[in-house]
Structure 1
């Protein structure tokens, strides 16, 4: 099963918000502090009752999710998940729920009919409902959201809750507030005992061997039957699992490039574990001596890979909710983290929040939600809708600066080598064609779009004032030529900076034949298009190719040599 969308209703300051998960794409919640980003992440986490806190604290937690302004609220908080059924659900996997009483046994036929329905639809909506009465939380329940008769059956609530246990796990990460403890105690009577990190280490043992656990490991040091050699053997195997997982999945990430090895050691006398880190130069450090960035990644690895109560390997693509990651690291580390997140979304769904300009993935901008708080109510607006109402004229990305209240200055130059295009569509095409021509070469420049050929003056003025190394590319049609002459004359620029397409009277989409456009459309959308490809479809094609490596590799095979040669000449002329 795969999470595709979350609908949040009546949760703290949220009236109603949709968050869509897009395959292999980062989902960004962007907004200032206190705008409501964390509230959205916590609501998604709350969907899964496995994330609930201990029963004796649960009511207090539920009270915090009620709308603060309505102290006597009778309005239920609701979180609805849309789940894609990638493999047919089998009723035999849920056989245990029919053994909980005679009513359950009588419902099997109805459940079979319901399974047939959702397997046919290949989609399922489950809602968690937390009711309130006079401001006090009542017993929560799950329900199916559909028009099938079984959804109204009381037994459906039992089945819905059981299904959540088979859904992908959802894990929330809160910046650096939950760092790896220097000592992970194994005795619950110790004041420094941390149940979360105990579970993580216990999960590491379990991942090594299902028979392994912290308690069984401690028995090997029993006074009556002391087996230190066996204990050492177990710990060596556990460390092998830790470093194997670390190397296989995480070594390539920038945040851990200086970590050569990690080691878990056990101190028998005081009953605690300790984690040490060995750098590439052979120096060994404790977790309190390493950089915050490296420790964040190590903590992230251990939580996602080894947390035993989350261990549902066959449940599908997990969802990581990452709140303000690395916001206290320097800008380069933050930008590297974006690259790392892109690697993670190959087999996970990542929703992260930030108010940092360095943690924005511009090539993922279409899956960015702008989060704002207005009169206590949290609003979420997808980027494509947000820019329609924004009145900024400088550039397609200027609203990002507006959202974050960024004021550029001489100390923060956002680019060292840049190309300015007429609009977003031109940018997407150039990014894709650069990858086609230079698949083995790292892109050492940025491309950022304006809003039209005639509307770049303010943006160009900024770059002149910042002394940026930039060039401008315009269409070679009448409008593009007029804009070139205007910028050269009014801003005292030369033709090497303000250029037009080398082929006369062309827009960039004219570099492709109609056959190529239709072939690319078929690759991207997996269906034929008989009519001409319109401008919006053309832009969408290159937006997807820019983020989908597999489709880009197929696209290379349908591009003709004359088209490729045109872009070679263009990039040579631009000298990028």
Structure 2
């Protein structure tokens, strides 16, 4: 069972928007990007406001998690006299296994079912008059199509009210958990009490986490028989068995937590380990989590803030996949790991792949994976004036949700909204390897285009390409290579700017560079006034744009971004022979010219 969409109406700054997850059914990670104040957090809060959740995180006292007063959800510009509803709607898709189980539930209640739609929806409406919440009018609506009949009836018909309780009861029980973590900075208990009759819901919540860690040992273990009973027992064999279990559990926790710590922070904490203590006091049986270094043992609360954040994150997420029931959780993370350094963020990103479902917000390029762009959404607040982002008008707040592809096509010049995506696709000079013979290009677009077609042509010979920042800004690279005595050539477009800069560089540096700077016309005399994009046949340009952005008009910006993404993904399209011949001619020219140096 999975969520296919969420739709929100009048929730804070969202007038009426839908977050559609159904177009990317195979994705389990969804990214929200946008400017500050764009509304990314509001979307997570709206999803978290969904009523039916098998697990509740309220017991953790997470900061900024609860909606203390429903009136705070009224859109700011409507607070003076709000006479409308705040609505949260979710689409839920059930698979064949669930459909069979729902049919069985109906059979127990005297119905024979012939057809059940695989997609259900649930709407929760909150009514307001004069900006006051009218709780008595609130409603929860299930919508679905079920055909069948009572066992003594002769004809099938659509079942409605009489089937609502049966269907909704089953679906609510099996809905994915929605687990919203604005952060992981909350108090971890010194003792977790394990008895079933514990009254504190926080300990009941942590018991499920303990069971996850037991399940990770894959030996059919449970808290009651293998922890509680042995803790209470005075039998020597029970104590040995308890120590054996604790030893295995400590090793598993240590391996998972500190292995991930070493990966993310590039530190080797080989002498640190998780140590578990168990006991019995006036409140019942308990287990304690501790961290032991080379000499001393510390409670989790005594470790640094950063380590506590990391420890809880790993404990709550990386063991979740072992849960036997309701493991289909939907994790919501708001700016995760924003306080970590870039390499740690990149490593943390990999841990998302082990989670059932994730929606997360980010401003960071290091938390963008190019392979997940199909499931990336741009969040835009129309109250922000794009031309003057400091001018913010809360009265016109209107949060919009767009798929990244669609937004980039419709607003190619509003790249600030998805700047982290462009940065992660962009060429990174820090990765540059200076080599004896290179080709300088005008900029990153030519760099990506040449490298992409190098892959398509399957050219094995090493042709090292270094991008400048523009045709007019190659002096530094030229000066460096001349000073080092290293060999290079420069390839420019044959437009007016390319020819102007070619002549300027020759005038600046003299005859020493005269035979090192070329325009496309020097490669092929028929390429006069050509820019690099013109070497790509129009049909191929359209194919590249369509592959990444769907059916869109030819656009130079979209073409270059499309090539960047295809290159990053290592996805080679079928290209016209004319285009291949053009780029084969360029590479033959570059290789031949470099060989003569």
* Aligned mates of 1:216, 1:44 — CA distance in 2: 37
How far does the alpha carbon of each residue in 1:207-245 deviate from its partner, in whole angstroms, 9 at most, with x for none? Answer: 445441168512312266673222212323433543565
* Aligned mates of 2:515, 2:47 — CA distance in 1: 51
Tell me the secondary structure at the aligned position of residue 268 of structure 1: strand
How far does the alpha carbon of each residue in 1:108-162 deviate from its partner, in whole angstroms, 9 at most, with x for none? Answer: 42xx3123xx4xxxxx352331433550445653523789995865634652563
Q: 1:254 to 1:114 in 2, by over 3 A?
A: same
* Aligned mates of 2:349, 2:452 — CA distance in 1: 21
Alignment coverage as a number of residue pairs: 516
Structure 1 counterpart of 2:153: none
Cα distance, 1:492 vs structure 2: 11
Q: Is the CA contact 1:171–1:319 (under 8 Å) kept in the aligned structure 2?
A: yes
The answer to whether the aligner puts 1:39 opposite 2:49 as a matched pair is: no
Cα distance, 1:368 vs structure 2: 4.5
The answer to whether the aligner puts 1:126 opposite 2:158 as a matched pair is: no
* Aligned mates of 1:257, 1:437 — CA distance in 2: 41
* Aligned mates of 2:454, 2:191 — CA distance in 1: 50
Structure 1 counterpart of 2:152: none
The answer to whether the aligner puts 1:323 opposite 2:369 as a matched pair is: no
Structure 2 counterpart of 1:379: 399
Cα distance, 1:299 vs structure 2: 2.1
Q: 1:447 to 1:235 in 2, by over 3 A?
A: farther
Tell me the secondary structure at the aligned position of residue 400 of structure 2: strand
* Aligned mates of 1:147, 1:421 — CA distance in 2: 63
Name structure 1 gaps, 5 residues minimum.
Answer: 119-123, 403-413
The answer to whether the aligner puts 1:303 opposite 2:305 as a matched pair is: no
The answer to whether the aligner puts 1:93 opposite 2:101 as a matched pair is: yes
Structure 2 counterpart of 1:121: none
Structure 1 counterpart of 2:31: 27
Q: 1:537 to 1:197 in 2, by over 3 A?
A: same
* Aligned mates of 1:201, 1:186 — CA distance in 2: 9
RMSD, matched Cα: 6.1
Name structure 2 gaps, 5 residues minimum.
Answer: 148-156, 384-392, 421-427, 433-438, 482-487
User: 1:432-443 residue pairs with structure 2 within 5 A?
Assistant: none
Tell me the secondary structure at the aligned position of residue 326 of structure 1: coil
Tell me the secondary structure at the aligned position of residue 232 of structure 2: coil
Q: Is the CA contact 1:29–1:351 (under 8 Å) kept in the aligned structure 2?
A: no
1:175 aligns with one of 172, 183, 187: 183
Tell me the secondary structure at the aligned position of residue 78 of structure 1: strand
1:113 aligns with one of 112, 115, 140: 115
Q: Is the CA contact 2:74–2:82 (under 8 Å) kept in the aligned structure 1?
A: yes
Q: Is the CA contact 2:491–2:518 (under 8 Å) kept in the aligned structure 1?
A: yes
Q: 1:82 to 1:236 in 2, by over 3 A?
A: same
Q: Is the CA contact 1:202–1:307 (under 8 Å) kept in the aligned structure 2?
A: no
Q: Is the CA contact 1:62–1:137 (under 8 Å) kept in the aligned structure 2?
A: no
Q: Is the CA contact 1:143–1:151 (under 8 Å) kept in the aligned structure 2?
A: no
* Aligned mates of 1:363, 1:309 — CA distance in 2: 26
1:275 aligns with one of 285, 289, 301: 289
Q: 1:169 to 1:500 in 2, by over 3 A?
A: farther
The answer to whether the aligner puts 1:80 opposite 2:89 as a matched pair is: yes
* Aligned mates of 2:322, 2:72 — CA distance in 1: 25
Q: Is the CA contact 1:66–1:77 (under 8 Å) kept in the aligned structure 2?
A: yes
Structure 2 counterpart of 1:213: 223
Q: Is the CA contact 1:74–1:131 (under 8 Å) kept in the aligned structure 2?
A: no
Cα distance, 1:246 vs structure 2: 5.3
The answer to whether the aligner puts 1:481 opposite 2:498 as a matched pair is: yes
* Aligned mates of 2:163, 2:242 — CA distance in 1: 47
Cα distance, 1:77 vs structure 2: 3.4
Q: 1:175 to 1:389 in 2, by over 3 A?
A: same
TM-score (norm 1): 0.64
User: 1:455-466 residue pairs with structure 2 within 5 A?
Assistant: none
Q: Is the CA contact 2:116–2:146 (under 8 Å) kept in the aligned structure 1?
A: no
* Aligned mates of 1:468, 1:40 — CA distance in 2: 50
2:245 aligns with one of 230, 234, 239: 234
Tell me the secondary structure at the aligned position of residue 211 of structure 2: helix
The answer to whether the aligner puts 1:545 opposite 2:545 as a matched pair is: no
Cα distance, 1:38 vs structure 2: 2.1
How far does the alpha carbon of each residue in 1:283-322 deviate from its partner, in whole angstroms, 9 at most, with x for none? Answer: 976545656555444322221244599754674xx53311
Tell me the secondary structure at the aligned position of residue 231 of structure 2: coil
Structure 2 counterpart of 1:352: 360
Q: 1:438 to 1:65 in 2, by over 3 A?
A: farther
TM-score (norm 2): 0.62
Structure 1 counterpart of 2:208: 199
Cα distance, 1:76 vs structure 2: 3.8
